[in-house]
Structure 1
């Protein structure tokens, strides 16, 4: 078997030259390279997506960056989610928690207009894994329709059972447990399936994502197949939110995302990334598009037009702070940020559960997805901090979209 590494192998288009994503042993130091364009650090990009654009440290100085971080942390709602020993990272104290591998659970909520409190479901469940070498980061999605064993959570009146993955957040939020209960039960479900323990949990609803993209202005997205919206229709030649009106492939007024690459405003980018019908691979296409959106947001956030404009940085932080809910496992948010400062944005790799293809089953008359053996092996590799080896053995799990 090839040498274990933390970076992805170059694809065919890059054969014959060294790729910036070429695999190498985790933690190993490579040969000196020529000076090249400075790469935006991943810690800044992630905190843009899940919080703030602290890339200003490279332009306005550390004091300026800490000022922005202070604004961000003051506006984020925090709470204790990882209060069970089985969910917490095994580090003995907060000081050592960020020295080894880091695993974050990222939850995107489907919260719609008119819905009552505690009715949201986590339609996006992503594990962000950073190896102990802190030279790479991986995004791994769990399908919303994956048939999962959801452990008991008596605080919310749930006594355990099996259901689709997106139900865990809803079940855990009942009896006034709110987002903390929903996140705790979802983390417990993921832990039971994968064995992963977490350094933190980040929760954001889709409306929050839209506010962050609006603060960025637009994001550059590519539509690989015409996609019909389940949320927008066209009236008088303009796209408008459907607000309960019929939508989908059977209605001619439904908005269509046309094939091609372009700058998208917040409503369009978010709507495209949420669609799971009409494509060849259903929710797996949506997983790819959501990961594409995260990368597009990261690229836009690190562009000169954003980081050099204090007004835009301030608007972005305001939008992000009001949209986020977090548990960082008793580690200060600014410590979390600067622990990741050496990871470059180009080092964010996206992995596809079940290799991006259906693995369906009929469960008591309900169509559901099952996590394949290779997918469970992927999460086991993350648990053991060996995702580099896994990608070498299963390159089909790598999402190569830019």
Structure 2
């Protein structure tokens, strides 16, 4: 299941930093300045050069990690799973980028991780978050610790040495975000029938392992989706020709639609709107990064959604003696990751144009 994070990285991830900075630093009233004794001569202050904006030194390229995490907060001791794993590569100059996904069931080797008492092994990528989040001797989990194991796993698999920042949005974040934006508009590219929701948005009852009753349906064409519809549309994979790969494409399309809506509303420059969005998200958002969100907001100010290329990486199911084990990227899909790590994306996509989502 997927809970969108990607929309926060370019606009709201940075914008959150702006909103928090404004709300925390601008509230105290300015102290009055004592009047100086009158003088007969007025001197002009020497002109000064304003300091560069925070983040002005960030030039890229950047690799940012966007995670949708299912925390199942209603289930005691449920370990978080990264059900959406999207990566955003931003070119040097920070005016264009590439958004791509990795299958949640991708079979990968995970390194040993002492913090969680994990000895390493080969598992589904979604399990990196859960295995890394374990706190030895406790039933509590640590999402940021899970993020650390996930990034170590991704570095080993992709060859990308560093992820400069990451955004994690949990179970209830997307519907709040989309509703704060007044809904989003996107092109539904194939008929999608919901397993989880009725046409009015209420949950379909689960009886004997099967969902029952009328289902919400999303037909091809230009559609306006409110929060619950955006969640529902983006989480569906059953009944689609390419299953989870179709779902990954829909997730990327939705991320770009959210970014487009956020930019159209001027969130980058409107601290009041930003603060409303961040307040609505509450603790559903976790930010991880070496630089502050404010710095990335400034650095990525010229990255328009239209300059973000959506890339789909093909893969296939793999099995063993016990049946289905997970997914593996094709040579073409794995080759794209190599191109990212080596800074050769345009040349690679020129040779493999079908990877680009039109």
**TM-score (normalised: structure 1):** 0.71
SS at match of 1:267: helix
Specify whether residues 386 and 308 from structure 1 end up closer, same or farther in structure 2 by C-alpha distance, changes over 3 A only: closer
Instruction: Tell me the residue number matched to 2:91.
Output: 131
* CA apart distance, 1:177: 4.8
Instruction: Tell me the residue number matched to 1:241.
Output: 203
How far apart, CA to CA, are the structure 1 residues paired with 2:326 and 2:157?
A: 16
How far apart, CA to CA, are the structure 2 residues paired with 1:44 and 1:256?
A: 24
Q: Contact between 1:51 and 1:320, CA under 8 Å: does it hold in 2?
A: no
RMSD between aligned residues: 3.0
How far apart, CA to CA, are the structure 2 residues paired with 1:97 and 1:319?
A: 31
1:335-381 CA distance string (max 9 Å, x none): 22212223333211111112xxx422213412421022222221111
Specify whether residues 247 and 193 from structure 1 end up closer, same or farther in structure 2 by C-alpha distance, changes over 3 A only: same
How far apart, CA to CA, are the structure 2 residues paired with 1:376 and 1:97?
A: 32
Any gaps of 5 or more consecutive residues in structure 2?
A: 1-5, 26-53
Residue 191 (structure 1) aligned with residue 155 (structure 2):
yes
**TM-score (normalised: structure 2):** 0.79
Instruction: Tell me the residue number matched to 2:41.
Output: none
Q: Contact between 2:107 and 2:325, CA under 8 Å: does it hold in 1?
A: no
Specify whether residues 97 and 372 from structure 1 end up closer, same or farther in structure 2 by C-alpha distance, changes over 3 A only: farther
Specify whether residues 168 and 257 from structure 1 end up closer, same or farther in structure 2 by C-alpha distance, changes over 3 A only: same
Instruction: Tell me the residue number matched to 2:252.
Output: 291
SS at match of 2:334: helix
Query: Which of 279, 301, 304 lines up with 1:341 in the alignment?
Result: 301
How far apart, CA to CA, are the structure 1 residues paired with 2:121 and 2:336?
A: 24
Q: Which moved more, 1:340-349 or 1:267-276?
A: 340-349
Any gaps of 5 or more consecutive residues in structure 1?
A: 1-42, 55-65, 75-93
Residue 326 (structure 1) aligned with residue 290 (structure 2):
no
Specify whether residues 115 and 387 from structure 1 end up closer, same or farther in structure 2 by C-alpha distance, changes over 3 A only: same
Instruction: Tell me the residue number matched to 1:374.
Output: 332
SS at match of 2:93: coil
The aligned length equals 319
1:29-52 CA distance string (max 9 Å, x none): xxxxxxxxxxxxxx9974435453
How far apart, CA to CA, are the structure 2 residues paired with 1:216 and 1:247?
A: 35
